[in-house]
Structure 1
Amino acid sequence: MAIPLDLGGRVALVTGGTKGIGLGITQAFLAAGATVVTCSRSDADPVPGTTHLACDVRDADAVDRLVAEVVAAHRRLDVLVNNAGGAPYALAAEASPRFHDKVVGLNLMAPLVAAQAANRVMQTQETGGSIVNVSSVSATRPSPGTAAYGAAKAGLDSLTRSLAVEWAPRVRMNAIDVGLCRTENTDDHYGGDDGVAAIERTIPLGRMARPEEVGHVAAFLASDLASYVSGARIECHGGGEPPVFLSALTSPSTQEQN
């Protein structure tokens, strides 16, 4: 028996939804039949089939206005995907308190503020709603060079579990811990094709994720197929990171097995 992933009739707001992983999520939701609104800090060309609004998600008042505008246009808000986030490389000992504050603000406080605004709407709807937080594997492993980012994502995973309890049964809360994903910035970030290939050899599935694959997980979590999934942290990382010692192990027995 076929089990359809159907988001028809639902209104979804995807923060940072016009590029990278956010674009993959937007496209997956469109394919599942959802009405999608995206937002970013500045105006952008809408993804075909969507509406785009400018909003700095770190500004609580702006987020309230964003959600109000979505509800005014569509009469409801069924799904929020907190995707906007990220951080530049900076060693913790050298980064300023202001830098760390901005990183934590974008990756932890902004999702909380957006979730609060969405929850106020979803609690009044007979069908409630679903909130998906896009987190990172950096939440559960060391994140050198992006320490504040990793700490913020760990906080986001914890926040997800707590809000799943506070806002139940009307609103479901889940997180996706995303691993390495191939986007428009990947080659520049990792030094071109050779660098990417070297990294992909360390991933059990042999490659980085495609943005739409993260989108499929988000669409599942937002759908009725996940109607009893809340407070979950779904790892989307291609099998994770094998222990480093395995790459250094050169014992005769290991060589014979190879």
Structure 2
Amino acid sequence: MQPNGRVVVVTGGTRGVGAGIAQAFAETGAEVVICARRPPETPLPETEFKPLDVRDADAVRRFFTELPRLDVLVNNAGGAPYRPLARAEAARHLRVLELNLLAPLTTSLAAYDHLRRSRGSIVMIGSVSGSRPSPGAAAYGAAKAGLENLARSMAVEWAPDVRVNTLVVGMVRTERSHLHYGEDDGIAAVSRTVPLGRLAEPSDVGAAAVFLASEAAAYITGASLLVHGGGERPAFLDAATVNHGNRQQGDVR
């Protein structure tokens, strides 16, 4: 399957979802370059690491200028600490927006000439937080909502030369999942809220990214692909006192 033999850059590709994406592309035979501020604790097979802070616009431009070729850019770098809005000044929240929204724009602009020549592809890594309330991570949710809209506009402006799509990712089990959901019991409890009964693995996100960058998705641009296991079971189903198996037809809104 494509993108066999292509050059792929994955930002924030040293661990978690990013590592899963990088590994998935490497398994197709692609030449994969991962970039982050710090190298991976364990080197990823068949990938090359280059240090880069995606918030440093000058460094980003130099990074892409020095690349001889680029076929796929995966804007994965991002994240945010738990921070209720009223517990921090706006400047602290702005840093979250810089990393999760401005940095993908910066890297995409820096990569544009390469991608136009190769008729390449950009995959934005979005989040379900961009389409639902995100208490404790409001700036992150706002950034991911903006990222999805940015990708749609970018797809129209840069067509037909560059395809741009977004993976809207739900909960993923990574080496840091316990910080968000607790240990095994907590992860199991959270998994039961997902229709498919488990959290995603980084490889699930990687497989979806490979698809969007492949010839199989040649007519897909400006799209948002949900990778969330069916989303979240609606709370009203558990709160309702009626027996759902015998529920009669009524006014359901």
If the TM-score is normalised by the length of the shorter chain, which range does it land in? over 0.9
Counterpart position of 1:53: 50
Q: Deviations over 1:43-70 (max 9, x none)?
A: 345412111011100111111111123x
Q: Deviations over 1:109-130 (max 9, x none)?
A: 000000001112222x1x3110
Q: Pick closer, same or farther for the CA change 1:30–1:249 going to 2, 3 Å.
A: same
Q: Does 1:239 align with 2:220?
A: no
1:93 shift after superposition: 1.6
Query: Matched residues in 2 for 1:230 and 1:96: separation?
Result: 37
Secondary structure of the 2:87 match is coil
TM-score under structure 2 length normalisation:
0.94
Counterpart position of 1:7: 3
Structural mapping, 1:121-200, within 5 Å: 121-123=114-116, 125=117, 127-200=118-191
Q: Structure 2 counterpart of 1:58, which letter?
A: R
| Conservation of the 8 A alpha-carbon contact between 2:23 and 2:45 | no
Query: Matched residues in 1 for 2:39 and 2:13: separation?
Result: 12
Query: Matched residues in 1 for 2:186 and 2:245: separation?
Result: 26
Q: Structure 2 counterpart of 1:61, which letter?
A: D
TM-score under structure 1 length normalisation:
0.92
Query: Matched residues in 2 for 1:231 and 1:190: separation?
Result: 32
Query: Matched residues in 1 for 2:122 and 2:87: separation?
Result: 35
Counterpart position of 2:95: 102
| Conservation of the 8 A alpha-carbon contact between 2:14 and 2:39 | no
Moved more, 225-234 or 184-193: 184-193
1:250 shift after superposition: 2.0
**Unpaired runs of at least 5, structure 2:** 248-253
1:10 shift after superposition: 0.5
- 212, 221, 230: which is aligned to 1:221? 212
Query: Matched residues in 2 for 1:157 and 1:254: separation?
Result: 36
1:32 shift after superposition: 1.1
Secondary structure of the 2:74 match is strand
- 11, 28, 31: which is aligned to 2:27? 31
Query: Matched residues in 1 for 2:226 and 2:244: separation?
Result: 29
1:246 shift after superposition: 1.3
> How many matched pairs?
246
1:256 shift after superposition: 5.8
Secondary structure of the 1:81 match is strand
**Unpaired runs of at least 5, structure 1:** none
Structural mapping, 1:112-123, within 5 Å: 112-123=105-116
Percent of pairs with identical residues: 55
Query: Matched residues in 2 for 1:140 and 1:188: separation?
Result: 23
Counterpart position of 1:80: 73
Q: Structure 2 counterpart of 1:23, which letter?
A: A
